[in-house]
Amino acid sequence: MLEIKNLHVEVEGQPILNGIDLTVPKGEVHAIMGPNGSGKSTLSYVIAGKDDYDITKGDILWNGESILEMDPAERVAAGVFLAFQYPIEIPGVATMTFLRTAINSVRKARDEEELSIPDMMKLIQSQAKQLAVKPEMLKRGLNVGFSGGEKKRMEILQMALLNPGMCILDETDSGLDIDALRIVSEGVNALRGPDRSMLVITHYQRLLNYIVPDKVHVMSDGKIVKTGGKELALELEESGYAEYDEDAA
């Protein structure tokens, strides 16, 4: 279970998150929607442990324990995984090598046995096939020259391989063509389960037809201003965010 309590975050003295309270219980999928600049990516980065952010108040608990003192790799090992809105390119590191290293370092941190190279290759290739990641992409540098949609699929492949308890997806749907949206959504849905929580950040109700959330939260000006069921996403599609901007002003 992920619990965010009265979280206040600043960047260079500028407040960006202004008291976020959010709980994602085990097994649930929650969506976050909200206008550009409302703080959705900032929230996802702070959960994942990216530095450059000052947490001035509040706490983030994963399974009852604060993760604020943990570095990003420790958080991944603890099961908190973020699929980036803008995945970075790492030239010089073959994607396959990157994935193998990531899997084994996470397994090691979790006191699990390392996988042999053949077992690892089999695992990666079968997951890659399900997400329509082409074998030659695994030989290229991580994300180097990948199209926007290919990068997003690579994020979901990493997520599937690292077996996290908490998956955060930041606009995984943006830039995907219709087939890729379906493939990625099926990949995400295959990961849904009683032991896994998910936080899905999106601008489009359309994604939530595929990945049906238990709850939808609206974020505005660094706060959660409304929470509802999946129908809230449909209402937003009709009415936009004007109502919440006024509330925030």
Binding residues vs ligand ATP (CB under 6 A): 11-12, 14, 16, 34, 36-42, 52, 85
Q: How far is the CB of 171 from ligand ATP (least distance, A)?
A: 6
Q: What is the contact mask toward Mg ion in residues 84 to 113, using x (rule: CB under 5 A)? A: -x----------------------------
Identity of the residue, 96 or 170, whose beta carbon is nearer to ligand ATP in the bound complex: 170
Closest CA to 32 of 220, 201, 245: 201
Q: How far is the CB of 5 from ligand ATP (least distance, A)?
A: 19
CB 209 within 8 A of CB 14: no
Q: Is 41 in the site for Mg ion (CB under 5 A)?
A: yes
CB 214 within 8 A of CB 23: no
The tokens describing 114, both together, are: 């390392």
Identity of the residue, 16 or 47, whose beta carbon is nearer to ligand ATP in the bound complex: 16
Q: Is 220 in the site for Mg ion (CB under 5 A)?
A: no
Q: How far is the CB of 38 from Mg ion (least distance, A)?
A: 9
Q: How far is the CB of 41 from Mg ion (least distance, A)?
A: 3
**How many binding residues for Mg ion (CB under 5 A)?**
3
Q: Is 172 in the site for Mg ion (CB under 5 A)?
A: no
Identity of the residue, 202 or 205, whose beta carbon is nearer to Mg ion in the bound complex: 202
Closest CA to 38 of 232, 224, 209: 224
Q: Is 38 in the site for Mg ion (CB under 5 A)?
A: no
